[in-house]
Structure 1
């Protein structure tokens, strides 16, 4: 476990082992004019990486300095894994605590410069977080076998729960990048076209969504230079294209989705809002928490989806809480884990590009809803309420089948190490009323 001279609570999501990337605006920043800038999270603080690079020339890798002065992470993402790794290592060296003898910091250039420390360290509670990158394209996959089985069982019965292709490839659809928003952004209840209530009730109607749902997901930002159009990324090279991971709430209008998704899949039922956490956790920070992925031997995928070293997933504990307007605190309704993913991030990249599709830095690839075995591990209200046939208990006599106006949804996730955790921070959003129809 790495220890910083910046005090970090052992329960914090952001120890020195993590240092996730984000884009923030300081509360008061005369030098930057309050413009968005790149930082890393450390305990209750944000380290202003651009100010650090300016204040300590040569302390960070030359190849990364220009990218670290940008208002988004896209230029840094484009540099590739060697630059990301070198920059993270340099930051850890500057922030690491006193050596084994306890007599001086490993690198005292920042520790002993009070003026620079004041310019570089901002309290997280005082800053405004932004989307970490300009998202060019967003693809949502369907990678949890338990979720796909639950949904298929609801609508087609247990004998036909999984579609014939599901065990052969990572199913996905292209989402709407323009409506991906950062944690804390209010989410307006969508208005959409829904099917008539029953036979003889006439045609469809335009109305506020009545079956508004959350979906517990994770997503990975693509990095590196990208692949040329027509050239796929091989499964054994896919990890080099993964910059870092965020939590995601893929808000879903289930009644709109039911009417519109045949035959081409989700459209307006998904494109009104998708919330992501503001901090991007690197694959290096998550590396100690890799575990063997669920087996894929019945059937085995085609060779382009089989890595030489075996498949791994991340052991990340996930939770979802809902706080209604009358509730003092959120009630936890879901406890799941990323280790339940059947299709890995690397397999998603390999399949996404197999036909020659070109990925670019800042593209976002999501897992789809992450559900595990058992009711408590279900990652959506559609599953928790079993298509609205059961009440979900929030405590104190409060129940839900789907989300109501004023409900705030909280998602969290972390890996537990020995005396520390590597986490993602909040991914949250509150539901506001629909526009008048």
Structure 2
């Protein structure tokens, strides 16, 4: 594998095999989010690529003519760069690899490396629309058993189409943003009551960031997934289960989901995941023609969920019933237009075992089986002050590991 001159890069999950994109401000700077221009040292928001424990300042690189991207990397967010398309994404990635591996560039590039400890990571793109799918058969079956006991685990349409819903783009927040406990209506024996959710939960998911838009009326077939999707990010779609259980029939999730969705500050380009594609589970019955793939592939991502520092689950993404390409094809089959910055998430990732589930609803089986954390405390759902961290890795070239960053959030009391 290519050797990188950046200290600590070789053997790191964030070596030249990964190179995720993000946005940052220098810690303690006076700049405001979204502020164009200005030095990273002065606090202006800038684009960067992670390499080991550093961030390569992409604005500095383009200003110095080390990378040519038509000014897209001089912007405060990835929006303009995302819209450029696959050919430009590939060209820029190859150039970054050259800058970080060829010794002749070291003198010019090294001053553009900022230690991670000296930056604040911020939301790297403007979310256009947010769609959340429901693509794990194990998760859907578990939720069916918990929410609808005595009824079929899966609804009749589940194996025929990737079920999803439109979420609230305005409450998609970057990792580290505190999560205020939501209030809403909940069911009680005396009728509906209003107050803070008592069954606050997580959903460990994988998100896909759209770069190239489409026109209203266009469809994106499964074979053109990589023409439109720039990369992958980790997602925690926080859920208030008691609010959700009261409101979700007949139209589905609403206030129980829309209060916050956290995403990783790092977007891993699809090219970094070339070695992570594996055959997806067999689908039965056969899907309709627009959902057929010439090679049905899923991503072999290993996810870890930590609750107050205790590892409680390791959901396997490779077992998802519906693939990212099928999700995008279904999302657009009615002619719905894609916008640059659209985010669609996989839905909760759950495996067959209890220690592989991606929600605490499943982990504690609806709150009936508390789990013990390493500090000796027991939990069913999230308490104020709890912190959840979700991380993931994928296989890379020549035995390397691809790091997908982390998405973290701490629960604050209801306001």
From 147, 161, 168, the equivalent of 2:153 is 161
**How many aligned residue pairs are there?**
405
Spell out structure 1 runs of 4+ moving beyond 6 A: none
Q: Does 1:408 align with 2:408?
A: no
* Kept in 2: contact 1:381–1:402 (CA 8 A): yes
| CA separation of 1:69 and 1:158: change in aligned 2, threshold 3 A | farther
The match for 1:299 is 285
* Kept in 2: contact 1:180–1:274 (CA 8 A): yes
> 1:396 & 1:25 partners in 2: Cα distance?
35
Q: Does 1:83 align with 2:88?
A: yes
Q: Does 1:171 align with 2:163?
A: yes
Moved more, 83-92 or 151-160: 151-160
Runs of 5+ consecutive residues of structure 2 not aligned to the other structure: 30-37
Q: Indicate the SS of the match to 2:282.
A: coil
From 70, 75, 80, the equivalent of 1:70 is 75
Q: Does 1:428 align with 2:408?
A: yes
Alpha-carbon displacement from aligned partner over 1:100-148 (angstroms, at most 9, x marks no partner): xxxxx2xx13x123xx522x11011110111111101100000111101
* Kept in 2: contact 1:371–1:378 (CA 8 A): yes
> 2:224 & 2:400 partners in 1: Cα distance?
30
Q: Indicate the SS of the match to 2:304.
A: strand
The match for 1:60 is 67
Q: Does 1:364 align with 2:339?
A: no
The match for 1:31 is 39
Shift of 1:165: 0.5
The match for 1:395 is 374
Shift of 1:5: 0.3
Q: Indicate the SS of the match to 1:373.
A: coil
| CA separation of 1:253 and 1:11: change in aligned 2, threshold 3 A | farther
> 1:139 & 1:264 partners in 2: Cα distance?
15
Shift of 1:13: 2.9
Normalised by the length of structure 2, the TM-score is 0.94
Alpha-carbon displacement from aligned partner over 1:249-300 (angstroms, at most 9, x marks no partner): 100000000111111111111111110000000110011111001111x201
Shift of 1:343: 0.8
Q: Does 1:112 align with 2:97?
A: no
> 2:154 & 2:414 partners in 1: Cα distance?
34
From 342, 345, 348, the equivalent of 2:327 is 348
The match for 2:273 is 286
Shift of 1:10: 5.6
Give matches, 1:203-214, under 5 Å: 203-214=191-202
* Kept in 2: contact 1:154–1:386 (CA 8 A): yes
| Backbone CA RMSD of aligned residues | 1.5
Shift of 1:152: 1.0
> 2:292 & 2:403 partners in 1: Cα distance?
29
The match for 1:215 is 203
The match for 2:57 is 48
> 1:19 & 1:151 partners in 2: Cα distance?
36
* Kept in 2: contact 1:143–1:341 (CA 8 A): yes
Q: Indicate the SS of the match to 1:35.
A: coil
> 2:321 & 2:146 partners in 1: Cα distance?
20
> 1:239 & 1:262 partners in 2: Cα distance?
35
Alpha-carbon displacement from aligned partner over 1:15-64 (angstroms, at most 9, x marks no partner): 11110010111237763542211100000000001101112x2x323xx2
Q: Indicate the SS of the match to 1:361.
A: coil
* Kept in 2: contact 1:13–1:425 (CA 8 A): no
Normalised by the length of structure 1, the TM-score is 0.90
From 150, 163, 171, the equivalent of 2:142 is 150
* Kept in 1: contact 2:388–2:410 (CA 8 A): yes
Q: Does 1:241 align with 2:228?
A: yes
Give matches, 1:13-28, under 5 Å: 13-27=13-27
